[in-house]
Structure 1
Amino acid sequence: MTDLPRVVTATGITDDELAELYEYPDVPGPWLRANFVVSLDGAITTNGSSTGLTNPLDQRTFKLLRDLADVVLVGAATIRIEDYIGVRTSDEGLQRRADRGLATLPPLAVVSGRADIDPESRLLTNTIVPPIILTTTTAPTTAKRNLTAAGAQVIELGPDRIETAAMIDALTSLGLRKILCEGGPTLTGQLAADHALDELCVTTAPSVVCGNAQRITHTDRHSTVGMRCNHIIFDADGAQLARWVRSS
């Protein structure tokens, strides 16, 4: 008999209760989780950004998932579009991380085959923990040198493209096993197609977004990954937050 998902009403839910719902499993190897907000018809952006889809509970969960992670993995395009800064958290978040034996804050790990990231962007100038740049040996030497000078940890992974296994191995070699991917769709599509995505957390906004916005995964490779739902949280405004875990 298939286990049914846990159904939760968001009214009055505390951050501790949210943390219990989203705890990483106790496994020896890495665990890769992705987190997205989508419209009812599958759009991940409105007018080029996810801001128009999110709500207060989604934002709380977004921050909480960072509190539970060793590292936040993001593609370079998403860093630029969303104008990322380094991860911050509250005093409660700091305590939550300390209770779990995690570092004070998770670094951002940015995937960029060409290392085409502005060393003067907020990613590097507005951060507490220096970012990790995952790039290639053939990326421009000057770009890598400039990022290193700006404080980033630059890691070269292969000559032409950044393979999923190399990406995960590089992070786990740094002791970063609890990996939270925040997109974008090309990176998440690569992880899913390579069957490296262990979990997908999805907030479904109660709206339909017309147009040609991308979906959660974007790849030219066909691949099917079976998932099972651990829980669904129903918010008062109609949003639904679901945690999907890869089937055995």
Structure 2
Amino acid sequence: MDRLLPVPAALDDAAADALAAQYAYPAGLTAPYVRVNFVSSVDGAVTVDGRSGGLGSAADRRVFGVLRELCDVVLVGAGTARAEDYRGARKPGRGRDTPPPIAVVTGSAGVNPKSRLLTDTAVPPIVLTLRTAPATRLEALADAGAEVVPLDRLTPDALLAELGRRGLYRVLCEGGPTLHGQLHAADAVDELCLTLSPLLAGGDSGRIAHGPAGATPRPMTLVHALHEDGTLLLRYARAAGR
């Protein structure tokens, strides 16, 4: 893997520490810091045949693993978790004895108690849902081992406040596009890690963010650009002073 920015150089990621240093969160966090991670084809598709896996590469998978090791919690919408057949994280994070929990956002508590999120995990998932969700679903998820958290609303401020209350400051959002769009509209995205896969996907796949019209564009700064076998791995952060 080669680093194109800030200084062209070979990046020896055989030692995982080298790659982890490229993606380190800011030190001394006292509130949730939201990093969003997506993979896209060069023509903007976020899925192939309904899943993002068709866009992946060895480089993207390595970075995906590092991002999970570095975070305190993985935040994901229930639709994405279902489409991608999510399982729980199983590899301990850096500086942690346990993997980061998967926090699933679903207003209707629409998570299958028999899904891999609950049956193939080392830590219980956190289900962030509404108090108005069907009681039978809440009970079924709790009985299956999920940590069910009913909230009054699932707006970005409410979600991040709950994660912050738990001390889960290093947030890794893995989508989907609707959750990303809501976070952007609330100006809650601190970082975007975007992998550009060297594919023309075509089709009717959506983009990486869908949100309400009128959201204010957020200036971002390119922090680094990595390259391997035609794949670009880009990391953007909030522009200074913005």
TM-score using structure 2 length: 0.92
Q: Percent identity?
A: 47
The letter for the 2-side match of 1:97 is R
2:76 counterpart residue number: 74
5+ unaligned residues in a row in structure 1: which ranges?
Answer: none
C-alpha spacing 1:10/1:104, structure 2 compared with 1 (3 Å)? farther
Give CA deviations for 1:201-243 in whole Å, capped at 9, x if unaligned.
00001111111101110113322111100000011x2110011
2:47 counterpart residue number: 45
The letter for the 1-side match of 2:224 is H
Give CA deviations for 1:123-171 in whole Å, capped at 9, x if unaligned.
111111000000001111110111011111111111xx41110100101
Matched, 1:127 2:121: yes
5+ unaligned residues in a row in structure 2: which ranges?
Answer: none
The letter for the 2-side match of 1:86 is G
2:38 counterpart residue number: 36
1:244 counterpart residue number: 236
Partner Cα separation in structure 2 for residue 129 and residue 13 of structure 1: 28
Query: Deviation of residue 9 (structure 1)?
Result: 5.3
Partner Cα separation in structure 2 for residue 151 and residue 48 of structure 1: 29
Query: Deviation of residue 5 (structure 1)?
Result: 4.5
1:232 counterpart residue number: 225
After TM superposition, what 4+ stretches of structure 1 lie above 2 angstroms from structure 2? 7-14
2:17 counterpart residue number: 16
2:65 counterpart residue number: 63
Partner Cα separation in structure 1 for residue 110 and residue 123 of structure 2: 20
SS, match of residue 97 in structure 1: coil
Q: Tell me if the contact between 2:182 and 2:212 (Cα under 8 Å) persists in the aligned partners.
A: no
2:156 counterpart residue number: 164
The letter for the 2-side match of 1:228 is T
Q: How does 1:202-241 map to 2 (within 5 A)?
A: 202-223=194-215, 224-235=217-228, 237-241=229-233
State the number of aligned residues: 234
TM-score using structure 1 length: 0.90
Q: 1:97 aligns with which of 94, 98, 112?
A: 94
